[in-house]
Amino acid sequence: MSLYEDIVAGKEKLALVGLGYVGMPIAVAFAKKINVIGFDLNKAKIDLYKQGIDPTKEVGNEAIKATKVDFTADENMLKEAKFFIVAVPTPVNDDHTPDLTPVEGASRIVGRNLTKGAIVVFESTVYPGVTEDICVPIMEKESGLKCGVDFKVGYSPERINPGDKVHRLETITKIVSGMDEETLDVVAKVYSLVVDAGVYRAQSIKVAEAAKVIENSQRDINIAFMNELSIIFNKMGIDTKSVLEAAGTKWNFLKFFPGLVGGHCIGVDPYYLTYKAEELGYHSQIILSGRRINDDMGKYVAESLVKNLIKADLAVKGAKVAILGFTFKENCPDTRNTKVIDIYNELKEYGITPVVADPAADADEAKRLYGIEFIDADTIKDMDAVIMAVSHAQFMDYKEADIAKFFKKGQKKVLSDIKGIFDRKEYEDAGYLYWRL
């Protein structure tokens, strides 16, 4: 019998290494069909999962309570698995070079617990070559086994979109790859158990790695173009959203919008590609210029707010400003690598310490990472300016009268609507100094 048949028959187990926004939904999906071990180094997170609590809000508490995933922080349990999926984060360092520490650490853990005949599939976003050139040697060293003889490897880039309830693991075509035809076949069949949209067999592991990196680089460059247009149109006194709506009537105009680019993918992945390119002697031009524009947008938003405070004859130093939303994207609790912190920090340079409200965010994480304590949005009042930073569902119902309650009476209301969720005319007619990207 093949490894695939053994897995389906319940004779062999699948192990998920790394149970965050990406790994945990995969583990839960597979556990509906086969035996799954869910491993994470973070014991506190494992304890939450065991209690039926989903801190990521990706599948919800009910699904965690009902799942048959065997959650553990004990790496020795991984010895029971024959098919591994590694879904650990791949961040960048402060100097924008890839931080491969998590994926190297996971390779060591898997290596220590590898048995003959196993297949290891990496899902973490990497530059082409990481799986074979960095992860494989680590696993060989730790296990004493030989790749291609005793165990095999594959790569299947994650495409999970945190906070998105439409595009899920099951509904997005899954790219799969393997070091040889036999491995590719097993990997494709295993993923086909849970991915209803089907799998796409990439030509090689490096092709699959490269495909993942360019997906997010493409989005990054397109958003950077929109951000640059927004800066230009603001100087011209033209509303960018209106321009995009007009241009969008052409059938092949691409639907992108200006905004803050944070999170673990779009703002990070391009640096993996440009890092590898530089190693090979090529200095990226388009990719890095897009990154520069997007990385500076928080500063630009803060500067625009300060200009509007001055326009409204309000004192800048000590101005009372509220920021609504702090996560890196809407309807998602994750505050890691949020660009809203750039707005916050830049305003502090002007002598403004904003208050922040975010009902959807992981408050403990924000306190630990940024030292920021959220306030309840209902308690916001007497503000000089309000920044609508993240379009959480909780904020989308706000009417003009709700926003008006946040401001000081009897003075100009300065509103920065970064995502452009409100009707510009309505707010300008109501006397606001309204600004958006």
Catalytic positions are 265
Strands 151-155 and 174-178 come out as antiparallel
Supply the DSSP string of 345-376, one letter for each residue.
Answer: HHHHHTT---EEE-TTS-HHHHHHHH------
Alpha-carbon gap, residue 102 to 281, rounded angstroms = 27
Count H helices, E strands: the chain? 18, 13
Which of 218, 156, 214, 177 lies closest to 26 in space, CA to CA? 156
Asked if residues 149 and 116 have their Cβ atoms less than 8 Å apart, the reply is: no
- Specify the length of the chain in residues: 437
Buried (b) or exposed (e) across 315-350, using 16+ Cβ within 10 A? ebeebbbbbbbbbbbbbbbbbbbbbbbbbbebbeeb
The Cβ of residue 77 has, within 10 Å, a number of other Cβ atoms equal to 17
